[in-house]
Amino acid sequence: MDIVILFVLLGLAAFVLFVAALVGVARARHLEPVAKAIWVVIIVVAPLLGPIAWFIVGAHPPRLHES
């Protein structure tokens, strides 16, 4: 019974991460529409690794180097 609860909680966490990544892509102002579409495809095709990649790589706008 405990393992079932663990899997339900892990599945719920993965679902929340999935939805949060999709919302993040939709709200990202620093991305062009084509880049948003690519991120959505990545998140949908790889529902666990895609959101993780989004939060590590894509969620932050690129920094401008000031010289």
Interval 14-65: pLDDT, tens? 999 999 999 999 999 999 999 999 999 999 999 999 999 999 998 887 777 7
Counting the structural domains of the chain, the total is: 1
pTM of this structure: 0.83
Asked if residue 26 is part of any domain, the answer here is no
- Its domain, for residue 40, covers 2-19+33-58
d(Cα 22, Cα 43) in Å, to the nearest integer? Answer: 7
Asked if residue 37 is part of any domain, the answer here is yes
Asked if residue 66 is part of any domain, the answer here is no
